[in-house]
Amino acid sequence: MTRGFNVGILGASGAVGREMIKILEERAFPVNQLKLFASEKSAGKELSFKGEKVKIIKSDKGAFSGLDIVLGAAGNDVAAEYAPHIKKAGAVFIDNSSAFRQKEGVPLVIPEINPNDALLHNGIISNPNCTTIITLVALSAIIKESEPESIIASSYQAASGAGAGGPVELFEETAAILNGKEYIPRVFSHQLAFNVIPMIGKEQFEGYTSEEMKMQNEGRKILHLPSLKVNCTCVRVPVYRSHSVSVTVRTKEKISVERAKELISKAPGCKLYDDTEKGLYPMPILSSDRDLVFVGRIRKDLTCLNGLTLWCCGDQIRKGAATNAVQIAELLK
Residues carrying an active site annotation: 130, 243
CA dihedral 9, 222, 148, 210 (to 10 degrees): 70
Are 10 and 81 in contact by the 8 Å Cβ rule? The answer is no
* Contact present, 49 and 22 (Cβ < 8 Å): no
Contact between 251 and 143 under an 8 Å Cβ cutoff? The reply is yes
Contacts of residue 106, defined as CB under 8 A and 6 or more positions apart, other chains included, come to 100, 121, 122, 124, 125, 126
Long-range contacts of 48-55 (CB under 8 A, 24+ apart): 48/21, 49/21, 49/24, 49/25, 50/25, 54/21
> What are the residues facing 245 on neighbouring strands?
155, 312
Widest CA span in the chain: 62
Cα separation, 297 vs 133, in Å, equals 19
Measured distance CA(218)–CA(183) in Å, rounded: 37
DSSP letter string, 238-278: S-SS-EEEEEEEEESS---HHHHHHHHHTSTTEEE--BGGG
Start-to-end CA distance of the chain, whole Å, equals 10
**C-alpha 169: how far from its chain's center?**
22
Reported as half-sphere exposure (CB side, CA atoms, 13 A), residue 265 has a value of 10
